[in-house]
Chains A and B, each alone.
With several copies, the nearest count.
Chain A
């Protein structure tokens, strides 16, 4: 009898890097903090020792140059993964991500590939405040030409990093520090294609559809257990790929349950949650039968003080409450 070995989300990311660096000679990583013992949690520990500082490159405090250099290396046949330890820092490089990388193929006629991964870590809470807590997946999911992936499980954390790196287009890969302790038993790492990544039903239920991605999938699953204890069975849909959206499974589920609660750890207005609801509402056959609601952050910058953080960040209990309202109970 062998003991089950579980891998955490953080370590699974590291496994993804290790797979890529071992199997794919053109893959390399650059970003701030890569030679630090603590910068990016346990998600990159000792990679520079295992694979060399030429392939795991720590860089100056220069988000624009680092991101742009990733584009240039990608155009030169490499498969760079540019790491931004916080989405907030990545924002300095918005032009490179949105106006350069995402548009390069189209602008030059369709044949120039930018196989670049941008890893933007969502790292919030802990009284870090307004400038260290943004996720903004809604922004990037708005941009044609940019794939956006948000892993919710250790398996996805690893495999989506691999898929992102093997993709011939730029991919924004957003992992969430609040998921790092999740654990799962993993099969050996293999190459994965981004074409195979689509929304997944993580739990089956007939009464309500809970839609989320990344950390909110974790919350939705917790909420689903609490709801089950109250006799409400939730279908939990994990979006996984935010851009380009593949809404079919969401629609199928919503048609089945007649109630859809979209939970997103970003702001409300013009956000991902609005998109999911609009996608249902603009389809007459769905609109007729699906009640919709959304949970997002309140319309405020993230605060620091603990009681305000508690008011800012929703929990499974909030999802349960909103789900019950939607179910009329």
Chain B
């Protein structure tokens, strides 16, 4: 395989609108809605981190929305997905409650984790999102276990793990890849390769920048795509998803090459950025997954500028309303500290 990302890592490349190819554009209107909604929600969170209203650490995925949504388009509520520290987008893309997310980052009792977890611990079982945790690499084997359960259940579900390029440096990642591969489990590994682990560029952490080379070593089907091209993300998974649903699918490794626009944690874009970041950011904004999809939908006539404007304003309203509501939610009673540790 090619051990270099070549143009996929190039901030100046892939600014053009997305090509639908054989894909039907219509479902991507809904996908655009999801992406814009995620972005607005994270912008709202960023603002409130900036003002200090939100106090828990928030790792935002602005700029990376296509990976989450493109993957989620293939998932169903009986699948079981797991995320990491930067998982607002995964949670929302799978249908997690916006109200619940906002309440959670504010530490309220109506938050999705009832104020016990904050931004880094989100779950929504009802839509198949089984939890995100900030220990890097820790949820990867857990997703493999969900895949094992799916294999036993024989209902065509899949276990899903969302993680970053940094997580591929943890032993847990490799042990998990091997286990899923040797047991041929229905597990989707989604690596959002944004080329940074906090401040450190991948070139300082790994000898090559293509994470999918590990899928080769673990003898796993895989694809490396432009993670800012939602059609590419979606297309890469079509066959694997069909196989899972047919009950015949094994593991698949998807590498979505992308870039985060904000700092590792928090709301600023000029902080904890590390090597080679500052120069790249404005170029990377040219590869904006949201704008590119919107333009493509306009080009093929699936979404007019007017419809887009309506969509955006409806989303802005929804986000504003949800935020206002979240601010009114009650805090948990102090007794919750002890009453939620053990099963009743």
B340 and A127 form a contact (CB under 8 A): no
CB-CB contacts below 8 Å: A57-83 with B: 58-78, 80
A75 and B138 form a contact (CB under 8 A): no
B116 at the interface (CB under 8 A from A): yes
Question: Which residue among A39, A66, A75, A304 has the maximum number of chain B CB atoms within 10 Å of its CB?
Answer: A304
B272 and A100 form a contact (CB under 8 A): no
Asked, given contacts A109-B340, A169-B343, whether A68 binds B141 with beta carbons under 8 Å apart, the answer is: yes
Stretch at the interface among A1-9, A222-230, A248-256, A294-302: A294-302
One of A32, A127, A310 near B118 (C-beta < 8 A) = A127
B272 and A36 form a contact (CB under 8 A): yes
**Smallest beta-carbon distance A310→chain B, Å:** 8
**Smallest beta-carbon distance A70→chain B, Å:** 6
Cα distance, A127 to B159, chains bound together (Å) = 29
One of A100, A132, A308, A310 near B138 (C-beta < 8 A) = A100
Asked, given contacts A72-B142, A75-B146, A108-B131, whether A39 binds B199 with beta carbons under 8 Å apart, the answer is: yes
Residue numbers in A under 8 Å from B338 (CB-CB): 298-300
Stretch at the interface among A88-96, A181-189, A200-208, A234-242: A88-96
A299 and B121 form a contact (CB under 8 A): no
A60 and B169 form a contact (CB under 8 A): yes
A41 at the interface (CB under 8 A from B): no
Residue numbers in B under 8 Å from A100 (CB-CB): 133, 135, 138-139, 142
Asked, given contacts A105-B341, A127-B56, A129-B117, whether A35 binds B135 with beta carbons under 8 Å apart, the answer is: no
**Smallest beta-carbon distance A261→chain B, Å:** 22
Cα distance, A75 to B125, chains bound together (Å) = 10
B125 and A169 form a contact (CB under 8 A): no
Question: How would residues 115 to 150 of chain B score, 1 for a CB under 8 Å from any chain A CB and 0 otherwise?
Answer: 111101101010000110111111111111111111
B96 at the interface (CB under 8 A from A): no
The residue in chain B whose Cβ has the minimal distance to the Cβ of A309 is B107
**Smallest beta-carbon distance A324→chain B, Å:** 22
Question: How would residues 102 to 118 of chain A score, 1 for a CB under 8 Å from any chain B CB and 0 otherwise?
Answer: 00111111101100000
B337 at the interface (CB under 8 A from A): yes
Asked, given contacts A35-B199, A109-B117, whether A65 binds B343 with beta carbons under 8 Å apart, the answer is: no
B334 and A311 form a contact (CB under 8 A): yes
Cα distance, A310 to B131, chains bound together (Å) = 25
Stretch at the interface among B6-14, B28-36, B170-178: B170-178
A74 and B145 form a contact (CB under 8 A): yes
The residue in chain A whose Cβ has the minimal distance to the Cβ of B331 is A307
One of A66, A67, A88 near B135 (C-beta < 8 A) = A88
B332 at the interface (CB under 8 A from A): yes
A107 and B144 form a contact (CB under 8 A): no
Cα distance, A191 to B142, chains bound together (Å) = 28
B113 and A64 form a contact (CB under 8 A): no
**Smallest beta-carbon distance A118→chain B, Å:** 13
Residue numbers in B under 8 Å from A88 (CB-CB): 135
The residue in chain A whose Cβ has the minimal distance to the Cβ of B54 is A127
Residue numbers in B under 8 Å from A60 (CB-CB): 166, 169, 175, 178-179, 182, 197, 200, 205-206
B271 and A38 form a contact (CB under 8 A): yes
B337 and A308 form a contact (CB under 8 A): yes
A247 at the interface (CB under 8 A from B): no
A33 at the interface (CB under 8 A from B): yes
B108 at the interface (CB under 8 A from A): yes
**Smallest beta-carbon distance A309→chain B, Å:** 8
B145 and A126 form a contact (CB under 8 A): no
B339 at the interface (CB under 8 A from A): yes
One of A66, A68, A127, A168 near B107 (C-beta < 8 A) = A127
Residue numbers in B under 8 Å from A311 (CB-CB): 334, 337
A140 at the interface (CB under 8 A from B): no
Asked, given contacts A39-B198, A61-B166, A65-B172, whether A71 binds B142 with beta carbons under 8 Å apart, the answer is: yes
Asked, given contacts A36-B199, A65-B172, A95-B138, whether A59 binds B179 with beta carbons under 8 Å apart, the answer is: yes
B116 and A131 form a contact (CB under 8 A): no
B134 and A132 form a contact (CB under 8 A): yes
Cα distance, A132 to B117, chains bound together (Å) = 11
A312 at the interface (CB under 8 A from B): yes
Cα distance, A33 to B274, chains bound together (Å) = 10
B169 and A28 form a contact (CB under 8 A): no
Cα distance, A310 to B143, chains bound together (Å) = 33
Residue numbers in B under 8 Å from A70 (CB-CB): 145
B217 at the interface (CB under 8 A from A): no
**Smallest beta-carbon distance B298→chain A, Å:** 40
The residue in chain B whose Cβ has the minimal distance to the Cβ of A304 is B118
Residue numbers in B under 8 Å from A75 (CB-CB): 80, 130-131, 142, 145-146
Chain A interface residues (CB < 8 Å from chain B) = 28, 32-33, 35-39, 54, 58-78, 80, 88-89, 92, 95-96, 99-100, 104-110, 112-113, 126-132, 144-145, 167-169, 244, 298-301, 303-308, 310-312
A65-B176, A71-B142 provided; 20 other pairs, C-beta below 8 A? A38-B271, A62-B170, A62-B179, A66-B175, A70-B145, A72-B82, A72-B141, A74-B145, A76-B149, A100-B135, A108-B121, A109-B112, A110-B116, A127-B55, A132-B134, A304-B107, A305-B118, A307-B333, A307-B334, A308-B107
Instruction: Name 19 interchain pairs, CB-CB below 8 A, sorted by A.
Output: A35-B274, A61-B137, A62-B169, A62-B171, A62-B175, A64-B176, A65-B171, A66-B175, A71-B145, A72-B143, A72-B149, A76-B159, A106-B341, A107-B113, A110-B114, A127-B55, A130-B116, A303-B337, A304-B56
The 3 closest A-B pairs by CB, nearest first: A72-B145, A68-B141, A110-B340
